[in-house]
Amino acid sequence: MKNTDVRTRMAPSPTGDMHVGSMGVLLKNYAFAKKNGGKFILRIEDTDKEREVPGAIGRIQDIITAYGLDWDEGPGKGGAYGPYIQSERMQLYTDMANDLIKKGKAYYCTCSRERLETLRDSQRAAKVPPKYDKFCRDRQDEVSREIAAGKDYVIRLKTPDNQDVTFTDLLRGKITFNTASIDDQVLLKSDGYPTYHLAVVVDDHSMNISHIMRGEEWISSTPKHVLLYHAFEWDMPVFAHMPIYLNPDGKGKMSKRKGTVSAQSFLDRGYLPEALLNFFMILGWAHPEEKEILTLDEYIQHFDPKDVSSKSVVFDLKKLDWINGMYIRQLSLSELETKIAPFVPNTFPTEMVSGVLPLIHERLEKLSDFEELTTFFIGDIEIPTDLLLKKSTASDVAQQLEQTITGLEESTDWTIESIETVIRSLQEKHNWKRNQYFMMIRVATTGKKATPPLFETMQLIGKPGILERLRTALQNCN
Ligand code: GLU
pTM: 0.92
Separation between Cα atoms, residue 132 and residue 255, nearest integer Å = 31
Mean pLDDT, rounded, of the chain: 96
Q: Tell me the best of 214, 222, 225 to mutate to test the pocket of ligand 1, counting ligand atoms within 8 Å of each CB and taking the most.
A: 214
What average pLDDT does range 434-445 have in this prediction? Answer: 97
What is the pLDDT at residue 1?
64
Tell me, rounded to whole angstroms, the distance of Cα 473 from its chain centroid.
46
What is the rounded average pLDDT of the residues 234-255?
Answer: 93
| Cβ < 6 A, ligand 1 pocket | 11-13, 45, 200, 214, 218
pLDDT value, residue 279: 98
Any residues with CB less than 8 A from the CB of 341 and at least 6 apart, and which? 353
The b/e string for 76-115 (b: 16+ C-beta within 10 A; e otherwise) is: eeebebbebbbbebeebbbebbeebbeeebbbbbbbeeee
Distance CA(266)–CA(284), nearest Å, equals 20
83 preceded by a cis bond (ω within 30 of 0): yes
pLDDT in tens, 360-384: 999 999 999 999 999 999 989 999 9
Q: How far is ligand 1, taken at its centre, from the CA of residue 345, in Å?
A: 39
- Measured from the Cβ of residue 164, the count of other Cβ atoms closer than 10 Å reads 9
Q: How far is the CA of 165 from the centre of ligand 1 (A)?
A: 22
CATH 1.10.10.350 matches 385-477: yes
Residue 338, class by beta-carbon neighbours within 10 Å (0-12 exposed, 13-18 middle, 19+ buried)?
exposed
Residue 241 scores a pLDDT above 70:
yes
CB 80 within 8 A of CB 46: no
CA 25 to ligand 1: nearest atom: 8
Domain 89-242 has what CATH class?
alpha beta
Calculate how far, in angstroms, residue 10's C-alpha sits from the geometric centre of ligand 1: 7
Please choose from 13, 25, 41 the residue to mutate so as to test ligand 1's pocket, defined by most ligand atoms within 8 A of CB.
Answer: 13
Residues 231 and 157: beta-carbon distance below 8 Å: yes
Phi, psi dihedral angles at 16 (to 5 degrees):
160, -165
Q: Which atom of ligand 1 is the closest one to the Cα of 204?
A: 9
Using a pLDDT cut of 90, give the percent of the chain over it: 94
Decide: 330 and 362 in contact? Cβ < 8 Å: no
- pLDDT surpasses 70 at 258: no
Q: How far is the CA of 211 from the centre of ligand 1 (A)?
A: 14
Same fold, 3-86+245-314 and 89-242: yes
Closest by CA position to 36, among listed 46, 47, 28: 28
State pLDDT tens for residues 8-33: 999 999 999 999 999 999 999 999 99
Residue 174 host element (H or E): strand 173-178
Locate the domains of the chain by residue range. 3-86+245-314, 89-242, 331-377, 385-477
Asked if residue 4 has pLDDT above 80, the reply is: no
Cα 167 to the center of its chain, rounded Å: 29
CA distance 295 to 297: 5
Q: How far is the CA of 45 from the centre of ligand 1 (A)?
A: 7
pLDDT for the residue numbered 260: 80
Q: Confirm if 350 and 374 have CB atoms less than 8 A apart.
A: no
CA of 204 to the centre of ligand 1 (A): 11
Question: What amino acid positions are annotated as catalytic residues?
Answer: 256
CA triple 14-18-19, angle to 5 deg: 135
CA distances to 155, 223, 261, 361, 377 from 354, in Å: 65, 58, 32, 11, 13
pLDDT tens column, 145-168: 999 999 999 999 999 999 999 999
pLDDT over 70 at 199, yes or no: yes
How far apart CA 352 and CA 354 sit, in angstroms, is: 6
**240 CA to middle of ligand 1, Å?**
13
Q: Do 360 and 347 form a contact (C-beta atoms < 8 A)?
A: no
- The residue whose C-alpha atom lies closest to atom 6 belonging to ligand 1 is 11
Residues 405-415: pLDDT tens digits?
A: 999 999 999 99
CATH 3.40.50.620 fits 3-86+245-314, yes or no: yes
